[in-house]
Amino acid sequence: MANDRLEEVCSNPPMPKENQKSVRCDLCSKPLVAENVFVKEGKRFCCVAAAAQYLSSNKTLEDFHGRDKKRKFVQAIKKVVILSILAAIAYGGYQYWSQNKDKVREAGQELREKAKDLENSVNERSDE
């Protein structure tokens, strides 16, 4: 549990009195009086251990975001590669079609005739 971990590192600083100015620990949010604040890298903590944990988990988070960015970048590259391959295939197909329009048309015509023959033979059989 995250809370158990916080209890481990965060000391129990004396509660500020009502008329005392207080700040909160950036890790555990406990109220702190000025003389008990431990400042590190512009953050305020109740103790050195809290600062260490906060800054190390922050670094872990940054590492994670860095890896996430890298992963997304790789995915984007993969997408671009796949799209270029598809574009190349489409372009090649178009080139083939435009250079062999007659052949493609003939093949289509042949297919239509075969389909018609098939349809006719099926109809003839069902007529019998």
Min CB(31)–Zn ion separation in Å: 10
Query: Integer distance in angstroms from the first to the last C-alpha of the chain?
Result: 80
- Name the residue among 65, 42, 66, 64 with its Cα closest to residue 54: 42
Binding of residue 32 to Zn ion (CB under 5 A): no
Q: Which one, 5 or 69, has the nearer CB to Zn ion? A: 5
Instruction: Write out the two tokens for 82.
Output: 């796949």
Among 10, 36, 53, 54, binds Zn ion (CB under 5 A): 10
Binding of residue 28 to Zn ion (CB under 5 A): yes
Question: Which regions of the chain does DSSP assign to beta strands (E)?
Answer: 22-24, 31-33, 38-40, 43-45
Stretch that binds Zn ion, among 49-57, 62-70, 83-91, 92-100 (CB under 5 A): 49-57
Q: Let me know: does 9 contact 49? Beta carbons within 8 Å.
A: yes
Min CB(27)–Zn ion separation in Å: 4
45 - beta bridge partners? 38
Min CB(54)–Zn ion separation in Å: 8
Stretch that binds Zn ion, among 24-32, 34-42, 102-110, 113-121 (CB under 5 A): 24-32
Instruction: Write out the two tokens for 87.
Output: 């574009």
Stretch that binds Zn ion, among 2-10, 16-24, 74-82, 99-107 (CB under 5 A): 2-10
Beta strands 22-24; 38-40: pairing state: unpaired
- Write out the residues near Zn ion by the rule CB under 5 A: 10, 25, 27-28, 46, 50
